[in-house]
């Protein structure tokens, strides 16, 4: 099955028409060399080599920002596979849709020199036809974002079919309906972060004024939200339970926190974690009772009908 990725082609979609006409997608990220022989299977290796190079070429980049840039560059150049589907905003509230048809290529001239060839489809997807969750995911997360979790909706937008059902392939998910609800909660939480208790002390990590801390990539998968304290002294990993088993979500956030501590945190920064779930969970509370740096929050869904 193909995976789906959203790729922004240049700042403010400035190269969307060029890429569409030329049949490719590409990226830059302050790495000015041919990567043909320098793309390991493990993106963590790539990051270790190129984070210092990105920071040298762009001194304004933080270590977190350089890590994000390298992760996205590796994804465009190596992580996306032939046959995967890419969506790229046109700048006019539509998305080009295409299938990746080649491996990595380096262009010595022109923009976005790290490229993949794409066969663009005749169909465009209108942003207003997307669900709120998909619209947020395609519109607010850095340059590259994997949106495979919306496969059913995307397939319906590209080739409409009746009777779509909630389908989850993750074996740790106990309740697909809760998984779907909490996937939407993630978008709501990001959009309304400043009004939450967490937003009083932390900001979602941003890069160049764009939210980059949602679905931040790690070597064990993307973490839901990466935030930083307002004084810059603490990094916060936020993970939604998303219908998964209690043991799996506790183990997952610990792995994410370990990655953030080892790969992203500066020597003076601490790392904390937060798990958010729909219902009170005794198993999670007991697991967290032996750790002092992970908190548990539950949320409520309220729905009112008002006669007018």
CB atoms within 10 A of CB 280: 9
256-288 pLDDT, tens digit each: 999 999 989 999 999 999 998 877 788 888 888
**CA-CA distances (angstroms) from residue 157 to 89, 100, 123, 218, 245?**
15, 19, 9, 30, 31
Per-residue pLDDT tens listing for the chain (308 residues): 899 999 999 888 899 999 999 999 999 989 999 999 999 998 989 999 999 999 999 998 888 889 989 999 999 999 999 999 999 999 788 999 999 999 999 999 999 999 999 999 988 999 888 887 788 777 655 688 888 988 989 988 887 544 444 444 555 555 555 545 555 677 778 888 988 899 999 999 987 677 788 888 888 788 889 999 999 999 999 998 877 778 888 999 999 999 999 989 999 999 999 998 877 788 888 888 888 899 998 877 665 666 76
**Rounded distance between C-alpha atoms, residue 134 and residue 170, angstroms:** 19
- How confident is the model over 112-141, as pLDDT tens digits? 999 999 999 988 999 888 887 788 777 655
User: pTM for the whole thing?
Assistant: 0.68
Which domains, ranges and CATH numbers included, belong to the chain?
A: 4-158 (3.10.590), 176-298 (3.40.1350.10)
């Amino acid at each position: 099955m193909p995976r789906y990725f959203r790729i922004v082609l240049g700042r403010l979609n400035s190269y969307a028409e060029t890429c569409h006409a030329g049949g490719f997608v590409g990226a830059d990220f302050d790495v000015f060399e041919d990567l043909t022989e320098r793309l390991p299977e493990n993106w963590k290796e790539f990051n270790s080599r190129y984070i210092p190079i990105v920071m040298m070429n762009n001194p304004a980049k933080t270590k977190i920002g350089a890590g994000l840039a390298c992760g996205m560059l590796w994804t465009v150049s190596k992580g996306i596979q032939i046959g995967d589907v890419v969506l790229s905003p046109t700048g006019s509230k539509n998305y080009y849709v295409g299938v990746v048809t080649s491996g990595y290529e380096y262009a010595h001239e022109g923009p976005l020199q790290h490229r993949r060839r794409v066969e663009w489809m005749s169909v465009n997807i209108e942003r207003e036809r997307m669900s709120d969750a998909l619209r947020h995911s395609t519109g607010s997360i850095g340059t590259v974002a994997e949106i495979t979790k919306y496969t059913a909706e995307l397939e319906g937008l590209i080739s409409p079919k009746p009777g779509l059902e909630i389908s989850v392939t993750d074996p740790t998910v106990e309740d697909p309906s809760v998984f779907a609800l909490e996937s939407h909660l993630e978008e709501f939480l990001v959009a309304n972060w400043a009004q939450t208790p967490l937003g009083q002390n932390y900001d979602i990590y941003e890069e160049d004024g764009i939210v980059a801390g949602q679905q931040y990539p790690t070597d064990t998968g993307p973490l839901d939200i990466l935030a930083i304290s307002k004084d810059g002294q603490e990094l916060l990993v936020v993970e939604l339970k998303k219908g998964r088993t209690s043991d799996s979500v506790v183990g997952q956030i610990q792995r994410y926190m370990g990655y953030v501590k080892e790969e992203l945190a500066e020597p003076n920064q601490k790392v904390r974690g937060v798990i958010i779930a729909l219902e009170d969970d005794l198993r999670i509370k007991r697991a967290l009772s032996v750790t002092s740096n992970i908190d548990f929050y539950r949320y409520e869904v309220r729905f009112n009908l008002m006669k007018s």
